[in-house]
Structure 1
Amino acid sequence: MPMQTSTTTSPLFSATLRPDRSLRLAGGWIGLAVAGLLGLPFLVAVPEFLLPGILGFAIVAGGLAAISMQQARRSKLVEQITVWPDQIEVVTSARGQEKQMRRLDPKKVRLLLDRDENERTTAMYLNHGDERIEIGAFLAVSDKSSFARAFGQAVRKARQG
């Protein structure tokens, strides 16, 4: 009786992209608190500036709260990008939303990079016919550059195979 063998294909490239969860926004809250502590004696000493000062702090606090909520929603976004010898899969999912999967032919896909004046990658797009998909929009500039380099090599390898 012949032995049955199973073949498994491993991807050429696989990456799960998530937004940066650093504490950069916390610096805004800390700065607002420090400015409030330093400015409070001035506002109390000069009563004409009390109302405009409080209004200014309220506007900044509202802006920081809005940015915080936007980042909290964005932090739940995940992009899974897999390059197989015969296809590229881009799966986008976010909490509370339906997963979106796109399968693209690596021979027909073009990776387009937007660069700034210092030649740093600022945006990455996959062109497939008339469809344009931005990938890794939430990544930091340094992460986009290294990801684009590795992803581009995998796409070239898939085209050759």
Structure 2
Amino acid sequence: MPIEWIKGQEKAPGQPGAFFHDKGAPAYQLHLWPHRSLPPRGFVAFIGITAGLFLLPLIALLGTPVLWGILPFLLLVLSALWMSLRRSYRDGQLIEVLSVWPDRIELVRHNPGGRRQEWSANPHWTSLHLSEGDGPVPKYLTLRGSGREVELGAFLSPEERAALHDDLQRALLRLSPFKGKPEH
């Protein structure tokens, strides 16, 4: 699963107060990224094997004018395959980082083009929602707080979003003494 939890130290903030936010290490940090089914070494091997398989039938055509008629189309298909896989890698370079402090929750989405989207709220007033069927995707996971609702892990599978909902709900309950005890 393309999810990584980083658990910090659970301690009270050094400075009391309603508007204080200690920008130290978060109590919990969650990194989410799209699943990469083809690693970079696999990409090179796939392109090499595909090129070899494309060239194999051309051995019989060596020395004939038909070779020059077929070769440009095979090279065009191979370059289109190369470009589409590279585009898929570039689009998959997004990452979502959810950081949770006792007095602040922050979601930062780093998009492939370098654009950042940020959202933050007070974790005590933040609610986590998992929609069964009324969202744009099955098991639509959102966070609501500070007058906004943000999507979390849209690129995950429905099962991964459901598991993430349970894990995140437990983490938020452990952090907040006002929301009750986590269920096990």
Q: TM-score category by the smaller chain?
A: 0.5 to 0.7
Distance in 1 (alpha carbons) for counterparts of 2:88 and 2:49: 20
Match of 2:44 in 1: 26
Residues 142 and 37 (structure 1), Cα distance of their counterparts in 2 relative to 1, 3 Å cut: farther
Match of 1:118 in 2: none
Unaligned runs of 5+ in 1: 116-121
Amino acid at match of 1:125: L
Deviation at 1:90, TM superposition (A): 0.2
Match of 2:7 in 1: none
Distance in 2 (alpha carbons) for counterparts of 1:28 and 1:131: 43
Distance in 2 (alpha carbons) for counterparts of 1:86 and 1:6: 12
The answer to whether the 8 Å contact 2:128/2:165 transfers is: no
Match of 2:167 in 1: 150
Amino acid at match of 1:62: A
Q: Cα RMSD over matched residues? A: 4.3
TM-score calculated relative to the size of structure 2? 0.54
SS, match of residue 95 in structure 2: strand
Q: Which structure's relative contact order is higher, taking Cα pairs within 8 Å and 6+ residues apart? A: 1
Match of 1:16 in 2: 31
The answer to whether the 8 Å contact 1:20/1:140 transfers is: no
- 20-29 or 56-65, which moves further after superposition? 20-29
Distance in 2 (alpha carbons) for counterparts of 1:133 and 1:59: 40
The answer to whether the 8 Å contact 2:51/2:78 transfers is: no
Q: Is residue 6 of structure 2 the alignment partner of residue 6 of structure 1? A: no
**Residues 105-128 of structure 1: CA deviation (Å, up to 9, x unaligned):** 54442332679xxxxxx7752142
Alignment counterpart, residue 59 of structure 2, candidates 33, 41, 64 = 41
Match of 1:81 in 2: 98
Deviation at 1:81, TM superposition (A): 0.4
Q: Is residue 68 of structure 2 the alignment partner of residue 62 of structure 1? A: no
Deviation at 1:12, TM superposition (A): 4.0
SS, match of residue 69 in structure 1: helix
Match of 1:125 in 2: 141
Distance in 1 (alpha carbons) for counterparts of 2:144 and 2:92: 26
TM-score calculated relative to the size of structure 1? 0.60
The answer to whether the 8 Å contact 1:93/1:99 transfers is: yes
The answer to whether the 8 Å contact 2:96/2:107 transfers is: yes
Q: Is residue 98 of structure 2 the alignment partner of residue 90 of structure 1? A: no
SS, match of residue 81 in structure 1: strand
